[in-house]
Amino acid sequence: MSSSSAASDALTRIILDPRFHTPLSILKGFRNGLVYGTKIRFPHALVMVLLFRSGTFRQKASTILNMTRTHAQNLGLFVLLFKSSTLLIRSLNDGKETSIEPFIGGLIGGWTVFGRPGPAQSSVNHQIVIYVFARVVLGLVKLMAKEGKLPEVGKGNEHAWPIFASVSWAMVMWLFRWHPEVLQSSLRSSMTYLYTNSESWDGWRNLLWHNQ
């Protein structure tokens, strides 16, 4: 057996050894966060920056790479902190999982990576947290529907989505009309383009071809 084969076999034994499962699961979680963050952010940043950001090609490329790196690093770090926290809590409880465990782990990771003042207050992190929050609200609506705490609008649990969608749009349109300054700048810009800028034109060119 060659030295490379022996080394490969030894490494495989370590990887499959139950004693090393916990640290390796944390390592793989960090790796998966990096990969997933890259896959999600890069195409989104590529389209949004090239279409809507001004600047040279080099500046745009730098922005795309920075946004992708931030998203990937933060997701990876969050997974690392979450898994480490929950495993530590479990070890202090004789290896038993508690219902509060994921909440505490999410609180620690959420504050450290996305919530604390300073570098965490970036546009990328704001987008991630807002995305998560929207899914949380929808999930809570579905949970309330599942437990029979909402009035029937459709069949079965189908009434959760109509309520969530209609209230979400009702609130965002009310805020945009009367308090636009409290909305995220990217959302406010989109709403301005759709609703405010469509109110004025001085000819067919900026009615159908150009916005202004």
Distance in angstroms (rounded) separating the CA atoms of residues 190 and 193: 5
Indicate if the pLDDT at residue 138 is higher than 90.
no
Is the alpha carbon torsion for 176, 178, 182, 185 positive or negative?
A: positive
Indicate if the pLDDT at residue 1 is higher than 60.
no
Per-residue pLDDT, 38: 96
Token pair of 25 as six digits: 């699961």
% pLDDT > 70, the chain: 92
pLDDT band at 157 (very low <50, low <70, confident <90, very high): low
Indicate if the pLDDT at residue 163 is higher than 90.
no
Model confidence, pTM: 0.78
Determine the number of helices (DSSP H) and then strands (DSSP E) in the chain. 7, 0
pLDDT band at 165 (very low <50, low <70, confident <90, very high): confident
Tokens 């459709």 belong to 154
Q: Give pLDDT tens digits for 71-98.
A: 999 999 999 999 999 999 999 998 898 8
Once rounded to an integer, what is the mean pLDDT over residues 26-50? 94
Distance in angstroms (rounded) separating the CA atoms of residues 184 and 124: 12
Per-residue pLDDT, 151: 64
Indicate if the pLDDT at residue 117 is higher than 70.
yes
Distance in angstroms (rounded) separating the CA atoms of residues 161 and 138: 7
